[in-house]
């Protein structure tokens, strides 16, 4: 159900050309919802969550993701805004999707490295476009909580996919995420 | 929503997508899994060619031929080795992907659009698989092979239009 919800969120997500408060909500709640409304974030987090859940990597990977996310958001707070982070997230989404498709057992350190990359990229790709410092801080805190919760929910859902047809469905979902991410990457580099 | 609707409103795409699922179900495991995974990934490669403006001759013919060939595979219950089925489906996916990629809007909602049409493509595969599962029953065999015949006929009509 969470997988279906996540895919539905990808489909109804608003444009990812910038990072305004989603659906007109600012502050903490806007930040909380932010990862669910930026399509590249949804794709990367859902693909990572599927991968972690299906690999059965345990808690270290999501913790690594959360710590890296905090680091990324901290850099944003220090006004570090690197370029091409959105494209980097799409690359990660494509890689995670392909790893879900392949379904080969991977060692947990690989998962930790992938979690760190995703966490820092999501953090760096979440600059709050609001006017006051106070509201920006609230949005950053909200984004940290929202993205962390999102990943944990997807991992929890994916870890319950134990029947063969459920795991096949997850692999097909991984192929969809990878395909969509590859297409958009090509589009962004063709401009 | 534009991306979701895009493959659904092109009958040539629809019948070919359903045929992929139908043939996958007809072949059984592991083709029932491999074909719906191979198709979107290779379709993305074709889409990249379309986005980058790399010309691919006979795209519309390739799409129409995909419906004819895949439909006939079901009609005649052709059971090639898995790798041949995957290569065949992959070749056709390049044509479908090229057509989608060339029509991908250059706006910022490209990911939502791409996700939409990849999702719709997957749902059409699932529809084909659902129909293909009828082969478990004797009457279902006839229904599935008839569906394959209809798909091939639709492909012939499109082939006559673009040829």
Judged by CB atoms closer than 8 Å, whether chains meet at B115 and A168 is answered as no
Give the pLDDT score at B51.
83
Return the minimum-mean-pLDDT range out of A3-7, A60-64, A96-100, B158-162.
A3-7
Judged by CB atoms closer than 8 Å, whether chains meet at B118 and A10 is answered as no
How many residue pairs bridge chain A and chain B with CB atoms within 8 Å of each other? Answer: 106
Contacts of A181 in chain B (CB under 8 A): 111, 114
Write the pLDDT tens digit of every residue in B69-103.
999 998 998 999 999 999 999 999 999 989 888 87
- Output the six-digit token pair for B153: 């006929």
Q: Crossing angle, helix B31-51 and helix B110-132, to 10 degrees?
A: 150
Contacts of A184 in chain B (CB under 8 A): 110-111, 114
Residue A149 pLDDT greater than 90, yes or no: yes
Q: Which of B100, B99, B92 is nearest to B116 (CA)?
A: B100
Contacts of B112 in chain A (CB under 8 A): 10-16, 39
Residues 6+ apart with CB under 8 A from B41: A98, A101, A175, A178, A179
Give the pLDDT score at B102.
80
| Minimal C-alpha gap between B53 and chain A (Å) | 9
Contact B46, A180 (CB under 8 A): no
Q: Residue B29: enclosing H or E segment and its boundaries?
A: none
Residues 6+ apart with CB under 8 A from B93: B38, B39, B40, B42, B43, B45, B46
Give the pLDDT score at A25.
73
Confidence label for B109 from pLDDT (cuts 50, 70 and 90): low
Contact A9, A36 (CB under 8 A): yes
The DSSP result for B63-132, as a single string, is HHHHHHHHHHHHHTT----HHHHHHHHHHHHHHHHHHHHHT---STTHHHHHHHHHHHHHHHHHHHHHHH
Confidence label for A9 from pLDDT (cuts 50, 70 and 90): very low
| Minimal C-alpha gap between A78 and chain B (Å) | 27
Contact B94, B49 (CB under 8 A): yes
In whole angstroms, give the CA distance from residue A87 to residue A85: 5
Judged by CB atoms closer than 8 Å, whether chains meet at A101 and B40 is answered as no
Confidence label for A117 from pLDDT (cuts 50, 70 and 90): very high
Residue A4 pLDDT greater than 50, yes or no: no
Judged by CB atoms closer than 8 Å, whether chains meet at B111 and A190 is answered as no
Residue A19 pLDDT greater than 90, yes or no: no
Residue A10 pLDDT greater than 50, yes or no: no
Give the pLDDT score at A92.
96
The DSSP result for A111-140, as a single string, is HHHHHHHHHHHHHHT-----S-HHHHHHHH
Write the pLDDT tens digit of every residue in B123-152.
888 888 888 888 778 888 888 889 999 999
| Minimal C-alpha gap between A189 and chain B (Å) | 9
Give the pLDDT score at A15.
41
ipTM entry: 0.76
Return the minimum-mean-pLDDT range out of A3-7, A121-125, B19-23.
A3-7
- Output the six-digit token pair for B18: 């359903």
Residues 6+ apart with CB under 8 A from B31: B23, B24, B82, B85, B86
Peptide bond into A159 cis (omega under 30): no
Judged by CB atoms closer than 8 Å, whether chains meet at B108 and A17 is answered as yes
Give the pLDDT score at B2.
61
Contacts of A12 in chain B (CB under 8 A): 112
Average pLDDT over residues A113-135: 88
Residue B13 pLDDT greater than 60, yes or no: yes
Candidates A187, A189, A190: best to mutate against B (most CBs of B within 10 A) is: A187
B149 backbone dihedrals φ, ψ, rounded to 5°: -65, -40
Mean of pLDDT over chain A: 84
Give the pLDDT score at A12.
43
Average pLDDT over residues A47-57: 93
Return the minimum-mean-pLDDT range out of A22-26, A138-142, A157-161, B70-74.
A22-26
Average pLDDT over residues A94-102: 95
Contacts of A15 in chain B (CB under 8 A): 107-109, 112
Average pLDDT over residues B143-162: 90
Q: Within 10 Å of residue B5's Cβ, how many Cβ atoms?
A: 12
Give the pLDDT score at B110.
67
Closest to A11 (Cβ–Cβ): which among B47, B107, B116?
Answer: B116
| Minimal C-alpha gap between A177 and chain B (Å) | 7
Give the pLDDT score at B5.
64
Candidates B39, B44, B45, B127: best to mutate against A (most CBs of A within 10 A) is: B44
Residue A11, burial from CB neighbour count under 10 angstroms (0-12, 13-18, 19+): middle
Residue B106 pLDDT greater than 80, yes or no: no
Give the pLDDT score at B100.
81
Q: Which residues of A touch B (CB under 8 A)?
A: 7, 10-17, 39-40, 43, 90, 98, 101, 168, 171-172, 175-184, 186-188, 190-191
Mean of pLDDT over chain B: 85
In whole angstroms, give the CA distance from residue B116 to residue B157: 27
């Amino acid at each position: 159900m969470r997988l279906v919800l996540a895919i539905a969120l990808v489909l109804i997500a608003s444009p990812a050309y910038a990072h305004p408060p989603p659906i007109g909500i600012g502050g903490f709640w806007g930040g909380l919802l932010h990862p669910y409304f930026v399509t590249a974030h949804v794709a990367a987090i859902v693909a990572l969550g599927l991968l972690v859940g299906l690999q059965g990597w345990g808690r270290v990977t999501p913790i690594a993701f959360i710590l890296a996310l905090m680091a990324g958001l901290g850099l944003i707070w220090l006004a570090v805004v690197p370029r091409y982070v959105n494209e980097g997230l799409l690359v990660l989404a494509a890689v995670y999707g392909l790893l879900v498709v392949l379904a080969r057992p991977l060692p947990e350190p690989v998962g930790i490295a992938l979690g760190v990359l995703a966490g820092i990229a999501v953090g760096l790709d979440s600059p709050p476009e609001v006017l006051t410092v106070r509201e920006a801080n609230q949005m950053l805190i909200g984004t940290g909580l929202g993205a962390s919760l999102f990943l944990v929910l997807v991992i929890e859902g994916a870890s319950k996919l134990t029947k063969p047809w459920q795991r096949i469905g997850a692999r097909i979902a991984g192929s969809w995420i990878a395909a969509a991410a590859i297409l958009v990457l090509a589009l962004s580099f063709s401009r | 929503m534009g991306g979701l609707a895009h493959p659904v409103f092109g009958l040539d795409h629809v019948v070919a997508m359903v045929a992929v699922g139908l043939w996958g179900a007809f072949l059984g495991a592991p083709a029932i899994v491999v074909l719906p995974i191979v198709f979107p990934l290779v379709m993305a490669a074709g889409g990249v060619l379309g986005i980058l403006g790399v010309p691919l001759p006979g795209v519309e013919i390739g799409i129409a031929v995909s419906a004819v060939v895949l439909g006939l595979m079901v009609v005649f219950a052709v059971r090639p080795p898995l790798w041949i089925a995957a290569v065949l489906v992959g070749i056709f996916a390049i044509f479908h992907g090229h057509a989608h990629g060339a029509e991908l809007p250059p706006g910022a909602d490209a990911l939502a659009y791409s996700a939409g049409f990849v999702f719709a493509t997957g749902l059409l595969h699932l529809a084909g698989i659902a129909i293909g599962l009828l082969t478990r029953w004797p009457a279902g065999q006839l229904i599935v092979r008839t569906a394959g015949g209809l798909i091939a006929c639709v492909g012939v009509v499109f082939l006559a239009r673009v040829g």
